[in-house]
Structures are given as C-alpha cells and as structure tokens.
Structure 1
Amino acid sequence: MSALPQQLAEIREDFLAVPDADKLTLLLEFSDELPEVPEQYADVEFEQVIECQSPVFITTEVSDDGRVQMFAKAPAEAPTTRGFASILVQGLSGLTTEEILDVPADFPFDLGITKQVSPLRLRGMVGMLGRVKRQVKEHLDRQASQ
C-alpha cells in the first residue's frame, strides 16, 4: 500500500491494532464521532452516495490554500455507514487536494475489517472516497479553466 497521509494512517493503525472482536466496536465509536455539519452548510446541496446501503450524503470544500474539508450526513440508524463517513471526514479533512487524490481507492479494505463488515458495505465506503476524489478533481478542473 502506498504511503497514506498521517491522519488516515493513524486510523488504519487503530483498526489493525485492536483484536478482531473489537473492530466493530471501534467502527461504532467512529459512528458516534461523525462531526455535525456546520450551520453554514444547511443550504448546500450534498451528493448522495448511491453505493451505500443506507442514505449518506457528502460534500467537500477546497480552501484557497488547497486544503479540503469533507462534510457528511448519515442517519443515526445506520451506524456502519456513519462510521465509514466519520473515518473519511476525520481522515481526509485538512489534507491537500494532492493528498486526497493520492489516497488509494481501496483504502477501506486495508482497515482490517473484512471479517466484520460485508464487502458490499465496504464498497459503500469506497464509493464515498470516490465521490470525494471526484469532487476535488472537479474543483481543480474548474480552477484550471478560470
């Protein structure tokens, strides 16, 4: 696996460090830590990630200095989806556009939770990451055309 940005690498290491029996508990802890979307984003259109079994919506913002912020909405009744969204929000927010685009698309499979979470659910997280990367690339394309 290519070098991950530090905050994503730390999250991956957290999952790899706990016994298999505790991995789902850790994912649920991330679910509880999904940051609330700031009020100024109340009217922003979020993109639904249709690969997810539960409804999850994401958006990104790229600051003038090229740092990305990710925001996600997922219902409390979908703790696995919320956990995945929280991992990405915490692991990607603050990274540069280049760092985001360099994150391996299969990163979710490297968390060591393939025994606890179905491949279908992991593909949902891959879909979230793909949306973030696409949104960042679209931002860069718009910026380049100005």
Structure 2
Amino acid sequence: MSEMPSKLAEIVDEFAAAPRDVVLEMLLEFSDVIPPLPEGVDREDLEQVPECQTAFFLRAEVNPDKTVSTIFDCPPEAPTTRAFAGILAEGLAGASAEDVLAVPDDLYQRMGLAQAISPLRIRGGTAILARLKRQVREQIS
C-alpha cells in the first residue's frame, strides 16, 4: 500500500501546524479551489453525499493510467464543505487510485480541524472522503 500523496500530506501538515485562529482563513482559501462543473456534466451524473449539511455531489474517475480525477459540486454558500472538497481536489491532483485509497479516514482530525469546526461538518468531510474512496475501489476491483 502506498502513502498519502505528498501534496495532500503537505496540506495536512500545514493545517496541523497552523494556529487555530488561522485555520478558518486557510479553509476559506481552499473553498475557492473548486472549479465549476465541466461542460456536459450535471449534478445527476454525480453522487450526492447526504451526510453533508448542504447539497454536495462528487464523482471520482479512475483514468486508464490509474490516476484519479475528481469532480465536486457544492454551492458557494457552503465555504467549509467546499474547502473539504478543495483540499481533496488539490491534494489528490494526479494521484493514483492506490494513493487515494491510502488517504487516512481521519484526515480532517489529523489536520486539527476538529478543534476549529463543528463535529457535524467533520462528519460531512469524512463522508466525502469515504464516498470518493468507495467509488475508486469499485472502479479498480
């Protein structure tokens, strides 16, 4: 089994080391990372994550070279949830399916987010990661 992708590990370390009052600002920066849905892709093509407090949709695609592409859709009015997706989008860019599956399930706790945001939001972020990993697993098995 491989390790967490280095870019994601960097992001985790940055958050874990950041003072609590800076963490929310850092999250907001990641909320801007999510691009609009690609041309020809609708929400109906994505899986909803009902554990999120807001409408959140995602899709993971394992490419022929075994790298994973992600698509996320979340309204701008949900910056924390968008930030979770932004962290995954940036941290997993170019990652292999094996790398994605190696991401620890307690990713957001490792980042120190449990002290900065509500348990309900952490649960939503954890559900996003779990669904992403499940979609990858289904495509490689």
Query: Is TM more than 0.5 here?
Result: yes
Whether the aligned pair in 2 keeps the contact of 1:35 and 1:86 (CA below 8 Å) is no
1:41 counterpart SS class: coil
Residue 62 of structure 1 aligns with an amino acid whose one-letter code is V
Tell me, what secondary structure is at the counterpart of 2:59? Answer: strand
Residue in structure 1 matched with residue 73 of structure 2 by the alignment? 73
| Uncovered stretches (5+) of structure 2, i.e. residues with no partner | none
RCO (CA 8 Å, sep 6+): is it higher in 1 or 2? Answer: 2
Alignment correspondent of 2:117: 117
CA contact (8 A) 2:43 2:57 kept: no
2: distance between equivalents of 1:12 and 1:74?
A: 22
Question: Aligned with 1:60: secondary structure?
Answer: strand
For 1:100, what is the secondary structure of its paired residue? helix
Residue 49 of structure 1 contacts residue 131 of structure 1 at CA under 8 Å; is this kept in 2?
yes
Note the alpha carbon deviations across 1:50-109, whole angstroms, 9 max, x for none: 111111100011110100011100001111111111111111231111111111111111
Deviations 1:121-142 (A, max 9, x none): 111111000001100011112x
C-alpha root-mean-square deviation of aligned residues, in Å? Answer: 1.6
**Contact 1:49–1:127 at 8 Å: present in 2 too?**
yes
1:83 maps to: 83
More displaced, 129-138 or 9-18?
9-18
Amino acid at match of 2:56: V
Query: What is the percentage of aligned positions where both structures have the same residue?
Result: 45
Number of residues of Structure 1 aligned to a counterpart in Structure 2: 140
* Higher Rg of the two aligned structures: 1
CA–CA distance in structure 2, aligned partners of residues 32 and 43 of structure 1: 19
**Aligned twin of 1:144:** none
1:1-146 alignment runs, 5 A limit: 3-42=3-42, 45-141=45-141
Asked if structure 2 preserves the Cα contact closer than 8 Å seen for 1:27 and 1:80, the reply is yes
In the superposition, the TM-score normalised over structure 2's length comes to 0.92
After the TM superposition, which segments of 4 or more aligned residues of structure 1 sit over 6 Å from their partners? none
Q: CA offsets per residue over residues 16-69 of structure 1, 9 Å max, x none?
A: 232110100110111122222221434761000111111110001111010001
Q: What stretches of structure 1 of length at least 5 have no aligned partner?
A: 142-146
Residue 3 of structure 1: how far off its partner (Å) = 4.3
Q: Are the counterparts in 2 of residues 62 and 69 from structure 1 also a CA contact under 8 Å?
A: yes
1:119 CA drift (Å)? 1.4
